[in-house]
Structure 1
């Protein structure tokens, strides 16, 4: 339980990011956000989330855990979520100029 609380509690500033989102989309934003803060990368899909993690975050989001199963792992919604998560955490995608600097 301590690990759930330490790594999967949605903090106040993160709650602001999920405001306005509903159902599976709300949970689908919160779980990848917490995954990214813990692992430094986005999850590849639902299989990366143990059921107890989904249930723990779902209770915080006041959304049934089963709604996470309807979250779409491809498309514009998840791309938008990833962009917002990166912005919130102060990251951005690597540009061609960044790659050139790294190789120089």
Structure 2
């Protein structure tokens, strides 16, 4: 993903829609922001970031503002634990994706 986004591009691509805000539910601030960032990233890239360093800070800031959270809480998000796996699975389902299976490969 590109790192430099204009303000208009950020608004267009990373503004949370009402259904997305509802999907996020209520989590601890760092989990809510982490899930929101993953959601918008996946919606843009059809994949998840491989490392937090891929995330443009301006994008994190824009999403955090919409959730009334300080952007620094993203630093507390666990990028390798159980919670991110749950978030990724929920996001795939939200967008109608699923992991491919052996059956898919033979078809």
Place the TM-score, normalised by the shorter chain, in its bin.
Answer: over 0.9
Instruction: Find 2:87's aligned residue among 66, 81, 88.
Output: 81
TM-score relative to the length of structure 1: 0.92
**Distance between the aligned counterparts of 2:56 and 2:11, measured in 1?**
14
Say what the alpha-carbon RMSD is for the aligned residues: 0.9
Measure, in 2, the Cα distance between the counterparts of 1:48 and 1:61: 21
Structure 2 runs not aligned, ≥5 long = 1-6
More contact order relative to length (CA 8 Å, sep ≥ 6): 2
Question: How far has the Cα of 1:22 moved from its partner?
Answer: 2.3
- Please name the residue that 1:19 is paired with: 25
CA shift digits 1:30-77 (9 cap, x unpaired): 001000000111111211111111111100111110010111111210
Tell me the TM-score normalised to structure 2 length.
0.90
Report the Cα offset of residue 80 of structure 1: 0.5
Deviation at 1:99, TM superposition (A): 1.6
Deviation at 1:83, TM superposition (A): 0.7
**After TM superposition, what 4+ stretches of structure 1 lie above 3 angstroms from structure 2?**
none
Q: Report the number of matched residues.
A: 101
Q: Which has the higher helix share?
A: 1
1:1-104 equivalent positions in 2, closer than 5 A: 1-101=7-107
User: Runs of 5+ in structure 1 lacking a partner?
Assistant: none
